[in-house]
Amino acid sequence: MSWIVHKFGGASVRDASGVLNLGKILRGRQDGADQGKKQAVVVSAMGKTTNALEEIWQALPQAGAAALLVDAILEAHFKVSKALDLPASVLNKSTADFRSMVDSLAGQPPSSATYDSIVGFGERWSTEIVAAHLAARGMNGEWVSAWDLVQTNGEHRSAMVHLTSTKDAIHEAAKNWHTSLPVMQGFVGATEEGVPTTLGREGSDFSGALLAEALNAEMFCVWKDVPGVMTGDPRKWPAAKFIPHLDHKTAEALGLAGAGVLHPDTMAPLRRSGIPLWVNGFMDPEAKGTRIEGDTVPDDLPPLWTLSSLSDGRTEVRCIGASEEEAKAEWRVQFPQSHIQSVGLDAIVPQCIRFIVKN
């Protein structure tokens, strides 16, 4: 039976209503686009949980401050669980484990190893809640551990995935997923010795792509707070337009350019396996979304833009698919009062113009 892998980011599961919506989306897909297929789900930490866990990690030298932060983050997750009518036992063990870990590290300086051990709990709690909710809905949600499946080297905070052993581990685990809907964490993994690691911020899409590749999935769907891929972030680029279709290569370049909607590592497993990626909006799940597939650039693809703020107040702008003159002309149409300080071919992103702008 074919698999469809779905990945839900932190914004989509930021609270109980988000988890309810996730369940509705998956149920609707079971009766629609995913009918007759097996579903698997990858979930990020809820909302701003990763940021809150980073604060706890940074506060480790001040034991009292860390303890206060722990109380707040655990209360938030129990609140979501209660709102979903889930038993407290869903989170009891993991929250106790977390308290014990923070207590054992209190007074120590933060390290990259302790970062990975602490921050990964966000994904543990979110997937425990989601799996329990799906099970309560009669959808056979089953919590599965990325720490057992995604095998990495020991480089903390940006671990490299051992692709062969990860694929083998997922293949073996999937033998027991015939009647269940597996719910796996994004962003996290572990070494061969079981030491927790993370794949870098925003790495959950990559986790989902790895799962899709290992399962030889029919498609990989990521659910975002935008209706699909656009020509620019509509919060920053006034002329942003929806893109119905994109090729893998351009999508990879867009991720490298800093587009938050796509993680740059996500494309490689999908290109290797020929798996199409759908980028959908969780606020309007019936909308078409963007399909990313193949290596042929669409003939009607307009230039793509990313904008990033620099520490000195200037803006770094990247434009993919336009000449230098075309990019500058379009920029001046949108922001006539700004001043372009430098412009040229980008050294990192192919077929991309990069310029620095003073507002």
Provide φ and ψ at 125, rounded to 5°: -65, -45
At residue 261, the pLDDT reads 80
Amino acid residing at 151: Q
Least Cα distance to 46 among 24, 19, 13, 74 occurs for 13
At residue 301, the pLDDT reads 95
Residues spanned by CATH 3.30.1490 within the chain? 304-358
pLDDT (average), residues 1-13:
95
At residue 324, the pLDDT reads 96
Fold of 304-358: Dna Ligase; domain 1 (3.30.1490)
Q: Which residues of 158-197 are buried (b: 16+ CB within 10 A; e: fewer)?
A: ebebbeeebbebbeebbeebeebbbbbbbbbbbbeeebbb
Residues spanned by CATH 3.40.1160.10 within the chain? 3-224
Cα 22 to Cα 204, 277, 305, distances in angstroms: 16, 18, 30
- pLDDT tens digits for 318-340? 999 999 999 999 999 999 999 99
Q: Is residue 302 within 8 Å of residue 241, measured between CB atoms?
A: yes
User: Does pLDDT of 60 surpass 80?
Assistant: yes
Q: What confidence tier does 12 reach under pLDDT thresholds 50, 70, 90?
A: very high
Angle between helices 63-83 and 49-58 (to 10 degrees): 160
- pLDDT tens digits for 193-241? 999 999 987 789 999 999 999 999 999 999 999 899 999 999 999 999 9
Q: Which residue has the tokens 């659910």?
A: 223
Least Cα distance to 270 among 306, 241, 298, 295 occurs for 295
Q: What confidence tier does 259 reach under pLDDT thresholds 50, 70, 90?
A: confident
Cα 146 to Cα 12, 63, 263, 265, 310, distances in angstroms: 20, 29, 19, 17, 34
At residue 30, the pLDDT reads 96
329's CB contacts (< 8 A; 6+ apart) are none
- pLDDT tens digits for 113-159? 999 999 999 999 999 999 999 999 999 999 999 999 999 999 999 99
pLDDT (average), residues 302-310:
96
* CATH code given to domain 3-224: 3.40.1160.10
User: Does pLDDT of 1 surpass 80?
Assistant: no
Least Cα distance to 204 among 131, 281, 262 occurs for 262
d(CA 32, CA 42): 20
User: Does pLDDT of 67 surpass 90?
Assistant: no
Q: Which residue has the tokens 């991720």?
A: 255
What's the whole-model pTM score? 0.95
User: Does pLDDT of 48 surpass 90?
Assistant: yes
> pLDDT > 70: what percent of the chain?
100
Q: Which residues of 118-157 are buried (b: 16+ CB within 10 A; e: fewer)?
A: bbbbbbbbbbbbbbbbbbebebebbbbebbebbbbeeebe
